[in-house]
Amino acid sequence: DRTPVSVIGLGMMGQALAGAFVRAGHPTTVWNRTAGKADQLVALGAREAGSVAEAVAAAPLTVVCVLDETAVGALVEPLEAVVRGRVLVNLTSGTSQGARELGERVERWGGRYLDGAIMAVPQAVGTDEAVLVYSGARDAFDRHAEELRGLGGSTYLGADHGLSSLFEAAVLSLMWNLLNGFLHGAALLGAAGVPATTFAPLARTAIGTVTGWLPDYARQVDERSYPPLDSTLDTHLAAMGNLVKESEALGVGGELPRFVQALAERAAASGRGGDGYAALVEQFREP
């Protein structure tokens, strides 16, 4: 007797979410704007609803995963009458402000709202490899812990609906900066004829090394005190100059290393040259 669930939006991610629910044995109702995307799920046992309201009315728990928060806003418009007493979980990427506004709206209508973020690719959904974070209505998270657990590892962040979007933004910032660093390094080596596949193993090791620094850096960021643990910002600054020179000499884009250098120069100019690298956080705190 598994809890019935509904899924709105059957893009790459919505299909994965609905598929995980179906496989876990939940009676699953699905809806998608464009017809035809439910066929595979229906073949697996899902039921296709004729409207969003019909899908929401079919289950105590509805998961929404569409392109963006503008699409979500339009989809929930006709739900005032059906959402009362039900839980809406929005896994669409959005902003913290958008999540707070939607949470306020759903709860004014008598529903419970959880905002969530998926830190995984669709292929990982339904396995422990997928990390999903949720924020908002704690009671709803607890009531549906088992259903949500079927989508992947689930973590409740707090009552503020905006928290999941903020965590998602922070993780994306990390991901893009990390990948840009790898790609810039690959372009640099590539200009000298070294294939990226040769760089990749060393890059993985370097990422692992940096990962090990995070607990100490995090503590320093929270304490706003940055005694150098390994080297000083001044030492980093000297090496940053080399990266700019190499990039320019090899005709590889220099914006990224110049930006990194400019941040550290500003920190040094404000008297932080003798501090550790974590002191750079002040350049983000006070842009």
Query: What's the chain's Rg over C-alpha atoms?
Result: 23
Query: For ligand NDP, which residue of 18, 63, 66, 256 counts as binding (CB under 6 A)?
Result: 66
- Going by C-alpha positions, the residue among 103, 54, 101 that lies closest to residue 79 is 54
Query: For ligand NDP, which residue of 20, 64, 75, 99 counts as binding (CB under 6 A)?
Result: 75
Is there a contact between 242 and 182 (Cβ–Cβ < 8 Å)? Answer: no
Buried b (16+ CB within 10 A) or exposed e, 93-131: bbebebbbbbbebbbebebbbbbbbbbbebeebbeeebb
Number of other CB atoms surrounding residue 193 within 10 Å: 6
Query: For ligand NDP, which residue of 7, 19, 31, 37 counts as binding (CB under 6 A)?
Result: 37
Q: Which of residues 121-150 bind ligand NDP (CB under 6 A)?
A: 121-122
Closest approach, Cβ 74 to ligand NDP, in A, equals 6
Query: For ligand NDP, which residue of 14, 19, 103, 276 counts as binding (CB under 6 A)?
Result: 14
CB nearer to ligand NDP: pick between 13 and 188: 13
As a whole number of angstroms, the distance between CA 7 and CA 28 comes to 7
The yes or no reply on residue 49 touching ligand NDP (CB under 6 A) is no
Is there a contact between 63 and 72 (Cβ–Cβ < 8 Å)? Answer: no
Q: Which of residues 80-119 bind ligand NDP (CB under 6 A)?
A: 92-93, 118
Task: Pick the piece of the chain touching ligand NDP (CB under 6 A) from 70-78, 130-138, 196-204, 248-256.
Answer: 70-78
Q: What are phi and psi of 241, to 5 degrees?
A: -60, -40
CB nearer to ligand NDP: pick between 67 and 159: 67
As a whole number of angstroms, the distance between CA 27 and CA 60 comes to 11
Closest approach, Cβ 237 to ligand NDP, in A, equals 36
Contact residues for ligand NDP, defined by CB under 6 A: 9-14, 32-34, 37, 65-68, 71, 74-75, 92-93, 118, 121-122
